[in-house]
Structure 1
Amino acid sequence: MQAISLDTAILITGISKRTLWRRVTEGQITRLDTDERGRAMIAFDEIAPMITLPIEPADYELLIDADAGDADAQNDLAQLFLELDILEMGLYWLNQAVGQHHPDAMHNLAKLYIKGQGVEKDQNTGLMWLAKAAAHGHVIAKQQMAALVPQG
């Protein structure tokens, strides 16, 4: 049985924590074991019909992997939400990946700050994230930083 954290279930369903816990207590949603990070886990199949976000069932595995802490999945899920113009959710998952020092996520966050998309436009913060992405090996970010710094 696939599991998802209670916190992510709240994000994707829009149902309050109190209501979800009540449904768990009443046996309407199956409570699974706590994960290694100490998060309350519930059965994903029982939450899936309650998802209010416009994501396809084909993307459910990506959501489950992102919730489990896979930085690549977090970055990909962030891009999916950003493309759907669900900026708050995109930023949430992007920040989860950035927290794991994911270079692509850092580069993507830099672009958002430079453009002012979903966040207040801030060139300095954008450049900081660009530099961090470059420092973590992001090839395009390295090239962009090199173009900004005078040679010689």
Structure 2
Amino acid sequence: MAIGITPELSFSDRLRIELNNLFLGLALPFALFYLVYVTVGLRLTISYVITIGWIIILLIPLLLNHFKKYTAAKVYSIIVPLMGIVLVHLLHGWAMRLEPTYLHQVLLCFFFFQRRTAIIMCTLVLLTFAVVSLILLTFTPPFADRIIPVVPFVYFIFSVISSIIL
């Protein structure tokens, strides 16, 4: 996807922007597919809200790239989904099996940023995972018993497929 790509960008910057767009282009169909699944099968309001939230989260970096706010798009593509992952993890607990999504975020950090920034962002992701792990050791998540069986599988499959493609 060439959203926001201009000829005056360096090769490495173009590649990073294309990777960001590719990641978003992979994530959006997953979210849309799950929205159809929720609409046809589950009809749970909270699932609609979460899925539409993910779709909005995924569209914003594409808009930022379109308006040539490349750094903001890359940072947003790491930080905001990380906050969403943390929220889902804290609400549902370990049964969501979100560990691959944290590793996926680390991989994206190395794809999107130069070495120093990538290390800083990876450290942030790993520290976030450590804090979430400690929190989950001390309290029971409020929605631990309300996990839709297919959801952990969707998060896992998305992380694996997008990591392989990127």
| Shorter-normalised TM range | 0.3 to 0.5
Instruction: Point out the structure with max Rg over C-alpha.
Output: 1
Higher RCO structure (Cα 8 Å, ≥6 apart): 2
TM-score, normalising length: structure 1: 0.33
TM-score, normalising length: structure 2: 0.31
